[in-house]
Amino acid sequence: MRIGELSRKTGVPVPTIKYYVREGLLPPGELTSPNQAAYGEAHERRLQLIRALLEVGGMKVAEIADVLAAIDDPERPVHKVLGTAADRLGSGGIEHDDAGSAAARAVVADLISRRGWRTHESNPAATDLSEVLAALDRLGHGAFAEVLDDYADAAEQVARADLRYVDQRVAVEDMVEAVVVGTVLGEAVFSALRRLAHVSASAKLYGTDVPQEQKPS
Amino acid sequence: MRIGELSRKTGVPVPTIKYYVREGLLPPGELTSPNQAAYGEAHERRLQLIRALLEVGGMKVAEIADVLAAIDDPERPVHKVLGTAADRLGSGGIEHDDAGSAAARAVVADLISRRGWRTHESNPAATDLSEVLAALDRLGHGAFAEVLDDYADAAEQVARADLRYVDQRVAVEDMVEAVVVGTVLGEAVFSALRRLAHVSASAKLYGTDVPQEQKPS
DNA sequence: GATAGCGGATAGTGCCGCTATCTACTTAGG
DNA sequence: CCTAAGTAGATAGCGGCACTATCCGCTATC
């Protein structure tokens, strides 16, 4: 398969494919001549993965490069890949560093110990969580912490489902990819489900909300 | 309070505040002279909200403008604001429109009816969900649909918690803001919790995973 | 009356994900 | 064999976005 066919099959323009190769997201095709290269199914699959992480997962190209490098590295232990995949999420790294942050960190540490989670508050996810809680506090929504345990219950349930899904992969490389896909796309799945449940629940609570109306624009 | 103090209190640079005013995110200060204006606590609060939606929620400035306009409009019914806040999430609107999409839409419709959700599959969230499922299918992860119900259970639980939180607001404008904050920042909270639960669950499953290690960079 | 700050406006910057263009070459069709 | 379409690789440019820099004439304050 040459690049044009790869482009047609995936819907990704040829120059974009070349760009991904340049950026290290996609391995180059196997050269059959100085200016002819052959691409296989692996390239097609990889390209789909790239597009999914970009469009659905909202990841940046450089982040995807990191994650894919982790996937491709057979030396890298599974939990490192998970870390690489997961760490790209979160606030983006804005530091506020006020009094509220310390309080938020304490809330997170308490939550972790209360639930018996085998992690430490130095975990990037824990840091992100404290930052979000600090932001909520700043907004006068510190009371949001009251529903934290409901959120945590739900998060545990989702995490169990994720592990169940990943666990039934046979080969290790499939498992690694399943972790990445599950982490990133699973986020999008849950987000959509939450919004659906939101609409439905508020309809039940506040009476018969019309299902959908379009504004005249 | 003048703009410099507002800037100091919120950590947002003065030119950025002016930019937000230009873009309609922040109402202008009340003019006390042709070139002097006074800002109040409402401005400070609004600025915190903008930063939270931007940095934590990852929203775009134009989207924030829409949501804030919806919040400020007393005519707009609550569920419309919720819609405005929620619809900005999701894949970004890439259409693939192949056979897999139709199958994914069917899965979503089935899910909605199976769970008795009071919504329709024309809901943007439902569309987003089908698109994610279609992408998963394209990646050979169609089996992910098997854990959809676990995800949906968790989503319902989170939605209930959200409503409980919103419901205890007294004033309507507080409620509206609580919906926005809950929807957008709640997403970030859940995301972090999920990653924490992920690490913890995989530690319990795969033995004593080290909690955290830093790479030498 | 000097200095710092202000409101308002316009233009520019840096990053990011492509996209356009060019050259030299290869392949497929008639 | 010739031609038209396609290709690898390289460089430069584009459009969107969230700011950021600069300037002007004015004002508050010491």
Using the CA of A4, which nucleotide's C1' is the nearest one? D6
Cβ distance A133 to B189 less than 8 Å, yes or no, reads yes
A71-75, A84-88, A176-180, B75-79, range with greatest mean pLDDT: A176-180
Residue type, B31: L
pLDDT for B217 equals: 31
B contact residues 71-110, partner A, Cβ 8 Å cutoff: 78-79, 82, 86, 89-92, 94, 96
Name the average pLDDT for chain A.
87
pLDDT digits (tens, 9 = 90+) for B88-97: 655 555 666 6
Task: Go through A33-69 and write b for each residue having 16 or more CB atoms within 10 A of its CB, e for each that does not.
Answer: eeeebebeeebbebbbbbbbbbbbbbbeeebbbbbbe
B20 band by pLDDT with thresholds 50, 70 and 90: very high
Write the CA distances from A214 to A28, A201, A210, B65, B80, integer angstroms: 47, 20, 11, 20, 10
Interchain contact B211–A (C-beta under 8 A): yes
Q: Are A89 and B198 in contact (CB under 8 A)?
A: no
pLDDT digits (tens, 9 = 90+) for A159-190: 999 999 988 888 888 888 898 999 999 999 99
Question: What mean pLDDT is predicted for residues B24-40?
Answer: 96
Considering Cα of A62, then A178, then A183, then B204, what sign does the dihedral take? negative
Q: How far apart are CA B7 and CA B17, in angstroms?
A: 7
Strand D reaches within 7 A of the A31 CB? yes
Where exactly are the structural domains of chain B?
Answer: 3-56, 90-152
Nearest CA of chain B to the CA of A196: how many Å? 6
CB contacts, 8 Å: B118 with chain A: 199-200, 203-204, 208-209, 211
Q: Say yes or no: domain B3-56 is CATH 1.10.1660.10.
A: yes
Whether A75 shows a pLDDT value over 80: the answer reads no
Strand C reaches within 7 A of the A36 CB? yes
Strand C reaches within 7 A of the B23 CB? no
pLDDT digits (tens, 9 = 90+) for A53-62: 999 999 999 9
Cβ distance B132 to A157 less than 8 Å, yes or no, reads no
Q: How far is the CA of A35 from the C1' of D3 (A)?
A: 19
A82-91, B128-137, B170-179, range with greatest mean pLDDT: B128-137
Interchain contact B172–A (C-beta under 8 A): no
